[in-house]
Structure formats: C-alpha cells, structure tokens
Structure 1
Amino acid sequence: MVDGDLYSGTSFTFLGSEPIICRNSQHLSYLRTEYAVPWLNEPRFVHADVIRAPENNPDGDDDKVYFFFTEVSVEYEFFNKLLIPRIARVCKSDQGGLRTLQKKWTTFLKARMICHSPENNLIFNVVNDVFILKLREPVIYGVFTSHLNNVGMSAVCSYSLSTVEDVFTKGKYMQSATVEQAHTKWVQFNGEIPKPRPGACINNEAKAMNYTSSLNLPDKTLQFVKDHPLMDDSVAPIGKRPKLVHQNVTYTQIVVDQVTALDGNTYDVMFISTDKGMLHKAVSHDMDMRIIEEIVLFPDHQAIQTLLLSDKQAKRYIYAGSSTEVVQTPVAFCEKLASCAECILTRDPYCAWHKGKNSCVNILAESNTDRLLIQSLNGDSSHCPDSADKGIRESMRYKVKAGSTVELKCSYKSNLASVFWTFNDETLKINPPKYLLQSTLIIFNVTEWDAGTYRCCSQEAVKDKLISQVVMKHDLEIERTPLPLTSTTQSTTQREEPIEITRIYTAPKKTTKTSTTQAVTQLVDVTQLNNKVTPTISTMEVFSSVADVGVGKALYLSNTNDCSLLIILVIVFFFLFFLLLTYNCYKGFLPATCLKYRDALLHSKKKTPLNLKDCEQGVKETLVEKVCPENQCGGAQKAPHDTGYETEPDCGNGNITHKEDETTTETEKDQPFDVKCEIKYADSDGD
C-alpha cells in the first residue's frame, strides 16, 4: 500500500496464466502491465516497496515503486528455461497513455540483477526475498540461490539504489530481432531514442517540454516503451561480489537493521531465515560479512515464509512466520552470555559487558557514553576483568567406581564454533573406550588412568585467527573400594590391626581333581572401624583381579555344588518307571516278544494269548483248546462250540456233507476260517 493505493504483482486470471503488475486506486486510474512475453514471462514475485523521492529534489523526480521477481529469460538461449532475477520500476504519478498504452503502465521498465561469486564462479539466478534499507542512500539486500548446478548454496548481495537508477535513466534498451524468419533474438538497441526518454517519470525535463502528465506523452515514446521494456544493462552488486555465501542452506527471507556500536561506527546487521526453521544473524565489519549467531526458531524444521523487523528503538524484535505459527524473538540475547569473555567473543554490536552490573547488556537499553561498558567487535577479550577464567561457566566434579561409564557434557552458545577436549592440560585424543558424541565425551570402563581434569574448549575463527576458550571443566576421581578377601582355609582366630592392602595377581594354573570332594572358597567379611580393619586372617590372602566384582556377586559365585536334590529326583523317576513296567508285565500289555522273555524268566506254563482280531473270536476257543484223548476225557467227545455259522462241519442239522468239505477239514482246524478259506453260504449249491 502506497498512500492508499494498492500495488500488486500477481496472476490475473482464474487459472493464473496471465501475470500482471497493477494498481488499484480510488483517486487514480487503474493501471496494469501489457499481456506480452517481453513484459512479463512466467514471473514469481517476491517483494515490492516504494522509494520516496528526496524533498527539494532539483530534478523534480517522482516517487517510484520497485518490484522484485524471478522470470524466464528472453534474452538468453538455453536448452531449458533459464531463470533470471529482475527488478522492475513504475512511477507513482503514472496515469497511462491517451491512445497507446491506454490504462497500461507508461513507465514500466525492468532490468537484470547480477549476483555472481568470482571465487567459485557461481551465478545465483533465483531471488527469494529482498529488503530495502531506507537510508539517505537506500541499499537493497537480496537473498539468492542457484538452480543451475544444484550446489545447495545461498548468497546475499547488496545493491545501491543509485546504481539501479543509473541503469533505468542512462542505460541502453534491448529489442527483439527476427533471425532467419523463424527465431526471435533480443539484442541491444542502437537506434535513436525518442524524447522525452521512454519509461521516465514526469520530471522537470519533461515539464520543460510541456509534458505535465503521461496522458500528454507522444505516441512515439509510448510505442517505444511498449516494444522495449527490457534494459540491456544489468544491476551489479556493491563490491562486484556477494556480501555472504553459505553452503548447505537455502535462505528464504531477510531483514536488515542498523546499530551504532560503542566505537561510533554504524553496522548493518542482517537476519536471514532458512527453509529449516533457522535464523542466521550476520554483521558487516571491515568490508566483510560474518555470521555471529544461529537461532533455532522452529524445532520441527518448518520453512520460514515471513520475516519482519519491529521499529521500536528501545527494544526491537524479529517476527518470523511459518505456515502454522508465528514466533517473536529479540534481536540479541545478551543476557544469556554469562562471562565477559563470552560476551566479547560473540562480536555482537548489540551487546556489551557492564562492569558495574557484572553482566552482558543490550546497548540499546543503556547509555552509549557509559564508561562501564566493554565492547570489542574484533573479539579481543583482554580488557575483561575475568579474562583469566577464559569463559568457564561451570565446573563439575565426579567420583565414580572403576569399570563404570562416565558422560561429560559440554554446552556452548555458538553454533559456529568447534569443540575439542583437553586432559590434564594436554589435547585429548579420542580413542576407544573414549567416544565423542557431538560435544559430549563418553568414557566406558573407567580406570585409574582416566582420573584427572577434563576441559571442554570451544574454538572459533575471528579475523583469520583462532580464538579458543574453556567452556566447562570436569574433575574425574576414581572411588577406591576394598576388594573382597578370599581364603582357601578357614581360620578360627581373629586379630585387630591395620592391614596394608596389596594386590597379588597370579596366573591361572591347571589342576586335576583327585576326589569327588570340591574345594570351597569362602568369603571373609570386612568391617572398618576407626580406620582399622578386623578381618579373619588366613595363611594366604588373594585379591581378585576383576575390580568390578562386588561382594554380592562373589557370594553368588561361591556355591557348594550340592547335587543331593538331583539324585533324589533321579531315584524317584526310576522307582516310578519300575512300578509301571511291573504292572504292564502282570497285565500282559507288553509286546509278544517281551511276554516271551517274561515267561522264560518266570518259568510259566501259561501260553501267550494269540493276537486275534474281533472277527476271529468265534474260532478262538477251538484253536486254543487242546483236544484230549478218549481215555482221559471219559470216552465222551465234547461237541464243538456253536459259532452261529450254518457251514460248520455238523451232520446233525440236516445238511449233507460234501467231499470237498471233508478234505479241507484239517486245514480249517489249523487256521482261522476267513484267512485262506472261501466263505460258504447255506443256500449255495455243491459243485
């Protein structure tokens, strides 16, 4: 919004296929860009702002509105669409043309923005955001990325507004030329430029030619603007190089603030957001831009889409917005810096050490003439009253047992500093069992050799030199605990006297068991009273070489190997097995082979019953029963058992006995009837 008028760069149609830069006003006429590729070619707008003309301007110039966007290039040929960062300008008092460019901009011009790094020969051709620092001589800051080489780098370039105006007011134009009647190429226009100058605002020069409004401009000038909206000259950055280049990051938004330090110089402080929810704070000092702080605004790595700077002079804030939330953060965290050395080494122009308050304060809330403030943007902390402590914020003391694990933590403020550890004033080599997890030192299986003083130091480059400071100090002490005493023989006498403990390490020897009795090693309890030890003394005392085995573990390991319970269980099992075997032998539930052995062992006359099927039970008694002679049975022959079959060899039932039945009688008596004999039916005819 500029004086109640809305200037916007957007897409006009519902499908978003027609990009325009337009003005909606209640007092002025509606204006928009021409729908043509030379004017706008698939642009992506990122920023728009107004630059007021200076008061009492001798040229009588007008206020101008600048648009920043990235579009597809028309002047460069490439196998793919080549993106180019642009800056476009329109005048606030533009009213459009009378016949040509009616209700269209008559002051629309655009030019290329160059952001090139000569060190690595990289061109950053996509502009993501722009911030205009409005001073007496305004400065334009822009964040750029590159889509050509996919290098994952971002850059910050700054431009002087006077350089931009020189391109629009004194630069050459480009025109389209047809090559071989098929291809259009944009080249530099070397012809005569009409007057008043196309694209210029109505200034004193135009008014001297009786052109008081854009409605009065000649059609020749308006037609030239319609056909030549692109400038041939490019806008070069200040210093012909980027202010800042950073790897492995994508910058999304930028705001710039100015602060006057205690040395009287004014410094530009840039706040740059990333697509990972980070905020980088960079300071321009001695023609060099350096990052002094990195703040995590969104822990879940949301991309920062909006970044604003409040205008309050006493206490300024940064407002960052993502797609879901907004965060407010101060421009400096001076109160978080605990020591003078740390306050100075941050090289933050907002912060200074107050000797009276003994704290780091924000100079915006203090008087710059206060002599109690200490500030050095060179990182020189020699003037600090506590320079001897080198920034130590915390000292820890540990007393641990041997064989345990120790975790030594180290927290430091600067994300741009590197961490290294020292042990007893010497650089610590990180080798197993010592491991470094980010800035935390972890020691496994601590021994007496690990006891000592550990210091966590941060190291950071300051103006081509490394400045280090001790952040935290850890004193590690190994707790000496008496080891359990072991004895091979028991003693019944006790004596009370101080004992000088010595360790005897013996190599293990192979022994041969001579009897089933096992030697039992007993533990001796030790009680300390008045610096005297009253143990049970034996002929020989041997200390275990394993330091981490306690008394409880030793008691668990020293058992008598008593197997009485196992022997009882085995006896009970065999007794039950014997009872089960006896019962099966008595009942005859064992296989026939086992029953034969039983009969042989017991000398039994009882025959083993035949293993006959249910269908053979009818002849079971006949086959098993022994035929007795006549003299033993009293001369009376016992009638055969009636099995219910009509085909039995019985002559008393009225049936006629066949000859073939007589021949097979002996065979049928020896074997079951249904094994090898055919079944005879009662009504069958004899053959």
Structure 2
Amino acid sequence: MHPLLSLCVFWLLPVALTLEEDSPLDCRPRRSVPYHRDNALLFREDGVFNYSTMLLREDLDLLVLGAREAVFALDLKDISKKHASVKWEVTEEQEEECKNKGKDAETDCKNYIRILHKTEDDRMYVCGTNAFDPECDYMSYADGKLTLEKKGEDGKGKCPFDPFQKYASIMFENDLYSATSMNFLGSEPVLMRSSPVSIRTEFKSSWLNEPNFVSMTQMPESQFSEDGDDDKVYVFFSETAVECDCYNKLVVSRVARVCKGDLGGLRTLQKKWTSFLKARLDCPVLESQLPYIIQDTYRWCDPQQRWKDCVFYAVFTPQSDTSDLSAVCAYSVSDISRVFAEGKFKTPVPVETSFVKWVMYSGDVPFPRPGACIDNAAREEGITRSLDLPDRTLQFIKDKPLMDQAIQPIGAKPLLVRRGATFTSIIVNQVQAADGNKYHVMFVGTEDGTLVKAVNYDEEMFIIEEVQLFETPEPIKILKFSNITGQIYAGSDYGAVQMPLATCGRSSSCMDCVLTRDPYCGWDKVDRKCVFLSNSQRELIQSLKNGDASLCPEADPIKPVNRSIWPGGNLKLRCTAPSNLARTVWERDGNPLTPAARLQFLGDGLLILNASDSDAGQYRCLSIEHSKADEYSTAVAEYQVSIGAVGTGGGTPTFEAQVNGPSVAGLQVVIALLVVALLALFAWNFYKGHIPLPWNCGKKTRQQSQVTSEQGDLYQNAPRPALAEDKPLVVGTDNGRSNNNHAGEAASGAAEENEDPMVNLPTLKYIDDESEI
C-alpha cells in the first residue's frame, strides 16, 4: 500500500468511527404496534377509493373528506359516523372523450376530488379532475345534507388534469392560490391566483422547470411590520435544476414566494407575478451524494409568538434507488425570509458550449429590490402597487428569479433520519410536559401505512412508536390535526382513519411508561396506570430527556406460572420484550442461563429440548433496557418448571394456552370432520373392494391357498371377478411392493378382453395392518 494512502486511511478511521457513533441511522421506534382495529377509527365505503383530500370544518364538527367521485361529511369526533355525502361522477360522454385521448377508463377517466376549501360565506369550494377536464363548484352543508350548486366553473390552472399529479392550493381571503398544470399534457406548470385578478408565473424553465408541487401556505408578514410589508404565500416543490452544470438531470427541492397584493406589471410581466422568487432547500443526509427531494411540509406557529418564530417541518426522500433513508428537516421562516430579502441572485451566463451556466450575480441591483413586496420605502418613491414598478426591476426578476444562497435547516442537519420507511407526510403538535417544558411531537406518515411518532430531546431524536394504521400496507397521502378534538386524521387510497395523539394504556408498568418517554403520558402512582397528561390533576411520574425509571415505585412481584414436562420432552416458555430497544435474558434459580444445544433462546421465549431432571427449577425472564439515565431490568415472566416421571401422574405435561390459536370448540369441529372423512374413505374402499368385508376373509384365504406363483402370465386370460370384494390387493410375487390399484385394474382389464373360464391367479397377499397401507 502506498505510504500516503496508508496515512489517509489511519487519519480517516477515527473520523469514520465518530460518524458511526453519532449516526442517526439506528433510530428505531421503541414500540412497534401491529395493525389492530382498535388502533384507529376507520371510514370507507365499498367501491370508493382515494380518500386523499380533507377539510376540517371545526365550526360544524365535521371532517369533509374528498375521494374518487364522492364527498363525505363525517363526524369530527368519530369519523366512522357519516352525516352526509354527495356524488360527483363523470358523464358517459366525458368518460368516452377521456378514453379517446388515450387515458384509462377505470383509473384516469374518473372525477378525483382534489381541492376542498372553506369560503368566507361558510360555503366550500370544491374541484375535481373530472376525467382530465378539471371543474370546480361550490358546496354547502345544511340540515344534515351536502349539496353541490352545480355552477360548473372551469378548473384549469386550479385543479390538476392528472389525478396522480402532485399539486398544492390554499384559499386565502377568498382568493384561490394553486400550483398545478395548465394543460392536458402537464407541460405548462403554473403558480396562479385565480381572483380577483388572475396572476400566474411565466412559462419559462428559469421560473418552473418540470416541477412537482408539494404544499402551500400563507404567512401574515404584514402584522406588526415596521417596514409596512405585505403578507406572503409560500409554495414548496421539487424541480429539475436549471443551474446544474451536469450531463444528467438533477432534481432539487425549492421554496418559492409571492406577495398577496401583487397585481402584475404594467408593460413587463403583465398579469404575471412581479414578486416570484425561489431558493433551494437543503436537507443534508449522511452518505447522500444527491440532494434529497421534498415530499410534504407542515407549518407550525406558536399563537403567542410573531410569524418570524414559525417553523416549516419538511419530509425528504432520496431521488435514487441506492439509498433507503428518509429524513425530516426543520426551517425557520425568518431564515427563509432573510434569503429572499437580502440574498444574492443567480444569473444565466452563456458560455462557448451550447448550455447556459448560472452564476452568482455581482452587478447592481435596481430599486425597488426585484421580487420585494411594496413596502414603506417604495411608497415614499410613489410606488404604491406592483403596476407602478419600473421596467428595470421587472425585467431583472423576469430573468433572474432564482436566489444564489440555499436555505439550510435549523441546526444544519436533519431532526430525524430513518432507514427503511419512506416518509410521505407530516404534522407537528406542541405539548407541555410534566416538567413544564414544551416539546414538538412529529407524526410522520409512511408508504407502508404506518404513523411514526417522534420527538427531538436536546438534539437526540427519539422515536416513541410506529403504529400500523391500515390492515394492508397503504401509503398515507394526507395528515390533518384538529385542536378541538385532539385527534389525528389520515387518508389513503383504502380509507380514512382517526386516532388520538397518544394511547398511554399500551404501557402496563411504571418502568415501561417512563421509558416510553412520551410527553403526553405519565404514571399515576395512585391509580397505578399510565394515563394521558391532560386527563389527570395529580402529579405524574415522567422523565422525557433521560428516561429515569428509578423514579418509579417498586413493582409488584410476578406470580410464577407452573409448567410440567416429562423426561425427554420439549417445552417452550414464552417471554416477549416490551420494547424494541430492550433485550431479554433468562435466569434459572437465580443464575443466568446461556444458550446451549438443549436451551434455545428465541425472540419470543425459551425452548427446552430433550428435558432432563436438571432442567427443573424456577425460570425468570428479564427485560433489560438502556436509557440516558441508566440501564434498567424488570421481570417480564416467571415459570416454575417440574419434571414428571413417564407413566406417572406427574408425567403429564402442562401446555401453554394458545392466546391466538383455535378454540376448543373449533378443534372439536375439526376432529369431527376428520372422523367423518375417514369413515367415508373406508366406505369407498369397501365399495371398490380395496378392503375385504369380514365375512369374505375366510373365503378369500381358501382361494389364496389354491393359486400358485408359477403362473406369471395368467393375467391375460383372467376373467372378470364375480364380486368387487374379490379383487386382489397385492401380488405375492412382488413381495407387496406393486401398486394395489394398478394390480386390480390389470386383472379387471384382462377379464374384459377374454371371456374364457376362470383360471388360477398368482398368490396374493392381503394387508391386515392399517399402517402398511
């Protein structure tokens, strides 16, 4: 090895080990909850799919749910209860026209509800793909009924044509802001405000280049603004990077921003955004070579703080198949605003080759600043609206909407990195714990239909649990949270579910409750159970940052379960760790056990093989779990095993009751069916003559004594037997190895061909023992 290469290897080794120790890739959920119907309340209707659009109408105690060709009004407290529904189906003519354009009749040529927003007059604005011809309408809820007004507004630019194309929209002060495609082919992406004056983006690759829109939100930046700033609308998306100097397409994540009061330019950028700016979003994930792609965002704001303290949480996935990591990054709104207000621009520069290179713009920036909203400084210059902006400013933003500086996440690293589970959506809730501190709990949906619940404790990411919401793995497409009910709502193709923020009852002991480190849950010493924090007025035991289970009172001893086994038998003692982060160890009579040929350590228990007298004793299964505070062990199961002598009463083994196995009644039914089947089999064999009747046995024995084994070719001349019961089963010359059925068929077939008198047959052997069959 080259000396310099060796030096590099030894120098990088400690760095690699440090990265491995600090790697967040081993972040596993403490508890994995498999699917159970009690995990969440489910709503679905037969024949209806794609429950992916939700509107919380907390003023009406409703969850309005948009699906394929239907809208449902569900009880907000229990979505399994439907109050009303309305169908919005495509006509036969629309479906036929869609098919003629080359689309699939069963998947594409339906009406997928994609937009649901509340209007200021308490109606709802709803749009659907409508067989690749998007249409919008107004809908009202009154007297327990949903009603479409059937106004039939054009939905182009508001709602996607393709039901599987990503999009984003919000309704802000009765103005619809939408990010989708303007045409059937999806080749004209647009960020548009539909009313009162229609404003949209330019059809230029420097503005939007093959984008996938993710989400949209508004920020009230005019509130308490010292500069007289305007409110903003932010849109998150991914697109092919125009600034990338590379041979292959590179996709990057973006955030763009426009001003609410933008009316477009007077001559340049007429009816186009004069405030459109965009910047790259970075979410640096360990070992990633390519930028990660944004999939969903959630804006969290403290109602007692200003807008600058708001945070955007975003989920990212890799753009190549070489990685199976997903990540969550958080971004400060003030950081994003600062890049747009003070950052440098990128500018295209033609080079000698055929492509255009994007570099940082270092020239003079005109006033008012390109992309800025109308503020007090502009008003002092007589510019009170975007129509008053000079052409120099407008031409600048038309050519250079991209910022040079990328926006980095809070802490310059992800909050959560997870291997294996592909993240799809996210919501965040703030909770005040027993220690008085406030924590942000993240609920992340995955492609497998699970909901990951995680908290960041002083830069330590801790996954509390992962719950399977649907019986079959269904990607979670949307997540919503209601402050009134304190419930989470999730939608997928299969259906919609509702679940609480926490299910504290899953922890049956104080140690388990504390080590779960769930800010919603604490151990009640009086009631001796893990309870929801807001449901108790007493002081609860909770240790979120350290997981200090020493605060718990001493647990009640476990009552041993008696087990008995005979010598040479096998016995399984069940024990399941209460946590994915715990390991189990076994003790016998207070001494630790080690795996051996006759002692097999399984994931769910201990298997004793070929038992002997030395295997008798008291067995104890301990769960050992490490937290930041200490390592804790607790007894999970205890057994008293005795060895009984064969042939004595004590030798009868005691088996474990099957928790999920068949019932006794079910077992009796199975045995009865087997007996009936066996009797039917015997009857059939009697009928076919495969088994002789008792009164023919003596007769057959006398016939057997008269035949000789020397007549090997007599099968050809054998007549048909008079009775079916007289058919031979086994030919003696074959020593019982020939096939019984074939022998009988041969004899019968020969008899049919030759009607000569009866001839002697070879010596036959009958099967007397059933085990020889």
- TM range, smaller chain: 0.5 to 0.7
1:111–1:230 Cα contact (<8 Å) kept? yes
Report the equivalent of 1:325.
495
Q: Mapping of 1:174-213 within 5 angstroms?
A: 174-180=346-352, 182-213=354-385
Say whether residues 1:59 and 2:59 are aligned partners: no
CA distance in 2, matches of 1:388, 1:49: 52
CA drift at 1:468: 3.7
Q: Which amino acid aligns with 2:228?
A: G
In the alignment, which of 555, 561, 576 is matched to residue 706 of structure 2? Answer: 576
Name the aligned partner's letter for residue 422 of structure 2.
Answer: T
In structure 2, what is the Cα distance between the partners aligned to 1:181 and 1:336? 64
2:201 to 33, 36, 39: 33
Q: Is the 8 A contact 2:578 2:623 kept in 1?
A: no
Q: Is the 8 A contact 1:293 1:414 kept in 2?
A: no
Q: Which residue of 2 aligns with 1:218?
A: 390
How far apart are 1:76 and its partner, in Å? Answer: 1.5
The one-letter amino acid of 1:209's match is: E
Asked if structure 1 preserves the Cα contact closer than 8 Å seen for 2:577 and 2:583, the reply is no
CA–CA distance in structure 1, aligned partners of residues 260 and 640 of structure 2? 70
Q: 2: distance between equivalents of 1:461 and 1:70?
A: 40
Query: In structure 2, the residue corresponding to 1:281 is in which secondary structure?
Result: strand
Q: Which residue of 1 aligns with 2:92?
A: none
Q: CA deviation at 1:34?
A: 0.6
Give 3-state SS (helix, strand or coil) of 1:38's partner: coil
In 2, the alpha carbon distance for the partners of 1:385 and 1:442 equals 33
CA contact (8 A) 1:106 1:214 kept: yes
Contact 1:422 1:455 in 2 (8 A): yes
> Is 1:355–2:525 an aligned residue pair?
yes
Find the aligned partners of 1:325 and 1:293 in 2 and give their Cα distance. Answer: 22
Q: Secondary structure at the match of 1:407?
A: strand
Tell me by how many angstroms 1:280 deviates. Answer: 1.3
1:561-572 matched pairs, under 5 angstroms: 572=702
Quote the Cα distance in structure 1 between the aligned partners of 2:584 and 2:446: 24
Kept in 1, the 8 Å contact 2:547–2:629? The answer is no
Correspondences of 1:280-679 after superposition (within 5 Å): 280-312=452-484, 316-367=486-537, 370=538, 372-377=539-544, 378-387=546-555, 396-463=561-628, 466-482=631-647, 572=702, 576-577=706-707
1:128 to 295, 316, 322: 295
Whether contact under 8 Å (2:450, 2:469) holds in the other structure is: yes
2:105 aligns with: none
State whether residues 419 and 439 of structure 1, in contact with CA within 8 Å, keep that contact through their aligned partners in structure 2: no
CA contact (8 A) 2:268 2:395 kept: yes
| Counterpart Cα distance in 2 of 1:182 and 1:574 | 101
Structure 1 residues 238 and 479, CA gap change in structure 2 (3 angstroms): same
Superimposed CA distance per residue, residues 322-376 of structure 1 (whole angstroms, 9 cap, x where no aligned partner): 1111121111111222211111111111111112222211112234xx3x32111
Task: Report the residue type matching 1:169 in the other structure.
Answer: A
CA contact (8 A) 1:253 1:272 kept: yes
Report the Cα distance in structure 2 between the residues aligned to 1:388 and 1:74, rounded to whole angstroms: 66
2-structure distance, mates of 1:419, 1:18: 59
Count of residue correspondences? 489
1:215 alignment partner, SS class: helix
- Label 1:423 to 1:207 Cα distance change in 2 as closer, same or farther (>3 A): farther
Deviations 1:38-72 (A, max 9, x none): 11111111111111126322122211111111111
| Structure ranking higher on relative contact order (CA contacts 8 Å, 6+ apart) | 2
Question: How far apart, CA to CA, are the structure 1 residues paired with 2:636 and 2:331?
Answer: 40
1:151 Cα deviation from its structure 2 partner: 1.7
In the aligned structure 2, how far is the partner of 1:272 from the partner of 1:287?
18
* Partners of 1:275 and 1:466 in 2: CA distance: 34
- Which of 263, 274, 295 is the equivalent residue of 1:106? 274
Structure 2 match to 1:167: 339
SS of the equivalent of 1:254 reads strand
**Identity score, percent:** 43
Structure 2 length-normalised TM:
0.60
Structure 1: 5+ residue stretches without partners: 485-500, 502-567, 585-687
Q: 1:571 to 1:39 in 2, by over 3 A?
A: closer
Structure possessing the higher radius of gyration over alpha carbons: 1
Aligned residue for 1:225, secondary structure, equals helix
Q: Does 1:90 align with 2:220?
A: no
Distance 2:560 2:500 in 1: 30
- Preserved CA contact (<8 Å) 2:292 2:319: yes
RMSD: 2.8
C-alpha separation in 2, matches of 1:455 and 1:56: 65
Q: Distance in 2 between matches of 1:193 and 1:570?
A: 115
What amino acid is the match of 1:462?
A: S
1:448-470: per-residue Cα shift (whole Å, max 9, x none)?
A: 33333333333444238544433
